[in-house]
Amino acid sequence: MPTTVQTRNTRQKDAIRAAFLEADRPLSPDEALALAQKEVDALSIATVYRNIGSLVDDKWLTPVDVPGQSTRYEVAGKAHHHHFQCNICGTVHELEGCEMQSRPKLPRGFKYSSHEFFVYGTCSSCTK
């Protein structure tokens, strides 16, 4: 019996990984569930949350904090980049690279370590 559970869990985790790779953008747990259910239709949201937690612990996924929204997740290990959120459908997309060439002017005694930059607008699907 434990072998069956292990196989099922691996199949579920594989479907969740495939969802992130297929989407190639940050996903919410609900978005990951919808995509992963194409492979494993009996997948539950609790299983998705549990596996996302495991994939973050394994450093395969990394959290993407969206201002005023719930956390999304993307495949880890990518170069520094920023994100775009569609005002209509709410999807979050990756922006290649970073156009911020200079560091912000900080008050005396402050030290710069990193920055976040989020862009909002309308995605190509919603523009049509």
Chain segment 3-35, per-residue pLDDT in tens: 444 445 689 999 999 999 999 999 999 999 999
Annotated binding site for Fe cation: 80, 115
Which residues contribute to the annotated binding site? 80, 86, 89, 115, 123, 126
User: What is residue 2's predicted lDDT score, i.e. its pLDDT?
Assistant: 47
Q: Is the pLDDT of residue 83 over 70?
A: yes
Sequence ranges of the binding site for Zn(2+)? 86, 89, 123, 126
Q: Tell me: the pLDDT tens digits for 100-127?
A: 666 778 889 988 887 777 888 999 999 8
Are 93 and 62 members of one domain? no
CA distance 64 to 75: 10
Entry pTM: 0.80
How many folded domains does the chain comprise? 2
Rounded Cα distance, 118 and 4, in Å:
43
CATH code assigned at 8: 1.10.10.10
Looking at the fold, whether 46 and 92 belong to one and the same domain comes out as no
